[in-house]
Chain A
Amino acid sequence: MKIKQLATVALTTLAVSAPVAADLVFPSLSYRTGPYAAGGTPVADGYADYFTLLNQRDGGIGGVMTSVPECETGYNTAKGVECYESTKGDGALVYMPLSTGITYQLIPKVTADDIPLVTTGYGRTSAANGAVFSHVFNFPANYWAGASRIINSIMDEAGGDISGKNIALVYHNSGYGKEPIPTLKALAEKHNFNLTLIPVDHPGQEQKSQWLQIRRERPDNIIMYGWGVMNQVALQEAANIRYPMDQMYGIWWSVTENDKLEGMGSHGYKGATFHNVGTDYPIFSDLQKYVVDAGLAAGDGSNVGTVLYNRGLYGAMLAAEAAKTAQAMFGVKDITSGQMRDAFEALDITAEVMAAAGMPNFGPAFKVSCANHGGPGLAGIQQWDGKAQEWKLIGDFEAPDMDVIAPLIKADSEAYAKENNITPRDC
């Protein structure tokens, strides 16, 4: 009897659990498990909470409720594909996979399925060339812009001349970590510094030999492209060899609340960022009122206001603004993924738009166009304050060295177009 009842319940749940139609669907390919869960969880929470806020406060976007079906990828590309296949049929409007590996996998697939793929601050850098990558957007900044911004910051500190300096790149030995190498090589040639490449293999728990090499060579500066546990281990190793923290720079995935040492251990560690930090924005009071206090927060609700949570929030805000743009452009409420793509291409994030979303000056103002899917690439510099235990913005949002980056983007995207028989669009 009992088993029969259980079976009936199970079958009914299976039967009725089909997704409710007529929602605006923003699938979240998240990772709350595995070695990168510490990074994946806050981003997924921020992404989900923003849409919950829109549903609770505004009744969705333009009167249509949103839904965020989640699918666990574990930062694994094969699982990412499975997640994409399982969610794309439900009317998915946009994908933000938060993994460079999964992004590479999805680029051809979303182009064929006419769904936009937005990779804020990660993914394939040359996707900034919208003529070749019609469905991929990587605004507001990409890895190459980040690398250039860090080099600019090092130059500023050295008084404008870094010729003869030794700079080491400690990177996650994957597609993600390798991304900045071409840019850094080009910059090394331009500014005459020596670049040492030091790869760290997944997941990055073991870095003794890498730091032994650093200890021997004593580079003037270290740039780190790490993710997950690799960041903490690297900081600990740096502290062990007494490497000065203020000469170390991380890309935005290496400078979060997770990436610090106890007390003053990592005081002075710097990093690039493409959005603002902290909770000093009107949206957070709304989040508290409508989402957290109502018990609707995603996850355990403990991540609100952290750097990565803000990044998820920021991505969701961009997606929601694009949905609004699409509704206005086409005059329909239930937009399709194709219309969403057109909206992303016409996206204009001004200071007013951000202020209206409750996030004034949260990121740089930018405008997307058919040719430029990457935005202006403005990036700021933040620094860890060991006393206050928080990140502080110390360098303004500045443009990277586009003279170096633009030809690299052109060359890499054209090579991709040639390999895959893509005729670049007229922009």
Chain B
Amino acid sequence: MFYRESGDFKKTYQDDSQTFPIKFDRRRYYVVMAIAFLVLPMFMTDYFANAMMIPFLVWAIAALGLNILVGYCGQLSLGTGGFMAVGAYATYKLMTSFPGMDMFSVVLLSGFVTALVGMIFGLPSLRIKGFYLAVATLAAQFFLVWLLNKVPWFYNYSASGQITAPERSIFGIIITGPHASPITGYLFCLILAVGLAWVARNLTRGRLGRSWMAIRDMDIAAEIIGVNPLMAKLSAFAVSSFFVGVAGSLFFSVYLGAAEVTEAFSINVSFAVLFMVIIGGLGSIFGSFVGAAFMVLMPVLLKNILVGGFGWPTDLAAHLEFIIVGALIVIFLIVEPHGLAQMARVLKEKLRLWPFPH
């Protein structure tokens, strides 16, 4: 009934190798896109856009970036917070140095700056692996945050070291700053998230993605069959950092509007993104989105039910939030160690046979 393949003939190789080969899947994807781009903006409240959808999209981009590095290339990284900070501060410097620049250029350029920084910190990955690499990237996290906090040039010598996003626009539509409508902020993030997910999907099934996966599965074997580990690992670090940099840039400019490096991009951020990737599913584009949704939307939802719905004290609700989200993470990982994306895959397999499994 669902995901029915019979009668869905492919006549060209292109058709056969498309992302959603099953017609039902493809249509579902178009429906989701239509809802995201056309329906949601019509019915969205400011709160829904600002406090739920924008952070969800931003974290999804960050999770996508880390998923490329950890899930596809197998290089464990704990430097996500530091790289997001680089993206945010690059955005701030670009916004204040070139007031005429449009936001797309600012965000993408910040991504490139972060990619460069990410490549430098990816160099140790040629020599060290696994947990040792995690420790090396942890050093990147602490070093970058320290640097951005220490050198006043990065925050334009402001008294408190805070950076504030000025008002910037694209084609006259305000994207950042207090006068920006949350809907435009949402659409801006959505365009970038969908575009980057499309890029990630196509990178991962192309030559580059295959070389990453070869390195992940067995680096010596990959080297023997002709994969250049230097290129593969550094490109994974560059692409991953680009995504993470874009996420940091949006996190600062569209979502928060002002940031302080020690608070907004602390080690907790690195862990949160890693959890998103693990809960969502390593090596899955869809998993990055589900993982981000779980980690971002669940606490807000719980808060609204416990405080807004039941009228419980806020401190009790905050503690319960931690307990419930923590317990859910453990339960999910016990039930399905490969993440929510694997759950969706299993469900899909079941649905393909439903209602006649035998």
Footprint of B on A, CB under 8 Å? 10, 13-14, 17, 30, 32-33, 37, 41, 70-72, 74, 76-78, 81-82, 85-86, 89, 100-101, 104-105, 107-109, 111-113, 124-126, 173-176, 178-179, 181-182, 201-202, 412, 415-416, 419-421
Q: Which residues of B contact A107 (CB under 8 A)?
A: 164, 258
Q: Is B41 an interface residue (CB 8 A)?
A: no
Known: A14-B305, A82-B51. Contact between A30 and B263, CB under 8 A? no
Stretch at the interface among B61-69, B72-80, B237-245, B308-316: B308-316
Stretch at the interface among B9-17, B117-125, B154-162: B154-162
On whether the beta carbons of A82 and B300 are closer than 8 Å, the reply is yes
On whether the beta carbons of B256 and A105 are closer than 8 Å, the reply is yes
Q: A412-B158, A416-B164 are in contact. List 9 more A-B contacts (CB 8 A).
A: A13-B309, A13-B310, A17-B309, A72-B307, A77-B258, A85-B51, A173-B262, A179-B160, A419-B164
Within the assembled complex, what's the spacing in Å between the Cα atoms of A101 and B259?
Answer: 8
Known: A72-B314, A72-B318. Contact between A176 and B160, CB under 8 A? yes
Q: Which residues of A contact B149 (CB under 8 A)?
A: 173
On whether the beta carbons of B164 and A108 are closer than 8 Å, the reply is yes
State how many angstroms separate the Cβ of B161 from the closest Cβ of chain A.
5
State how many angstroms separate the Cβ of A156 from the closest Cβ of chain B.
27
Within the assembled complex, what's the spacing in Å between the Cα atoms of A13 and B160?
Answer: 44
Q: Is B339 an interface residue (CB 8 A)?
A: no
On whether the beta carbons of B178 and A112 are closer than 8 Å, the reply is yes
Q: Which residues of A contact B164 (CB under 8 A)?
A: 104, 107-108, 416, 419-420
On whether the beta carbons of B167 and A175 are closer than 8 Å, the reply is no
Partner of A420, one of B167, B266, B303, B319: B167
Task: Give B158-190 interface residues, CB cut-off 8 Å to A.
Answer: 158-162, 164, 166-167, 177-179
Partner of B314, one of A70, A76, A89, A174: A70
Q: Which residues of A contact B264 (CB under 8 A)?
A: 77-78
Known: A125-B159, A175-B161. Contact between A81 and B300, CB under 8 A? no
Known: A108-B164, A175-B162. Contact between A81 and B256, CB under 8 A? yes
Q: Which residues of A contact B50 (CB under 8 A)?
A: 81-82, 85
- Give the residue name and chain of the A residue nearest to B160 (CB): A175
On whether the beta carbons of B263 and A174 are closer than 8 Å, the reply is yes
Q: Is B98 an interface residue (CB 8 A)?
A: no
Q: Which residues of B contact A125 (CB under 8 A)?
A: 159
- Give the residue name and chain of the B residue nearest to A37 (CB): B315
Q: Which residues of B contact A71 (CB under 8 A)?
A: 307, 314
Known: A74-B318, A419-B164, A420-B164. Contact between A174 and B311, CB under 8 A? no
On whether the beta carbons of A109 and B260 are closer than 8 Å, the reply is no
Binary A-proximity of B43-59 (CB < 8 A = 1, otherwise 0) = 00111001100010000
Within the assembled complex, what's the spacing in Å between the Cα atoms of A57 and B201?
Answer: 64
Known: A81-B51, A81-B256. Contact between A10 and B263, CB under 8 A? no
Q: Is B19 an interface residue (CB 8 A)?
A: no
- Give the residue name and chain of the A residue nearest to B182 (CB): A85
On whether the beta carbons of B309 and A174 are closer than 8 Å, the reply is no
On whether the beta carbons of B46 and A85 are closer than 8 Å, the reply is yes
Known: A78-B264, A85-B47, A202-B263. Contact between A32 and B314, CB under 8 A? yes
State how many angstroms separate the Cβ of B166 from the closest Cβ of chain A.
5
Residue picked from B159, B161, B263, B318, most chain A C-beta under 10 Å? B159
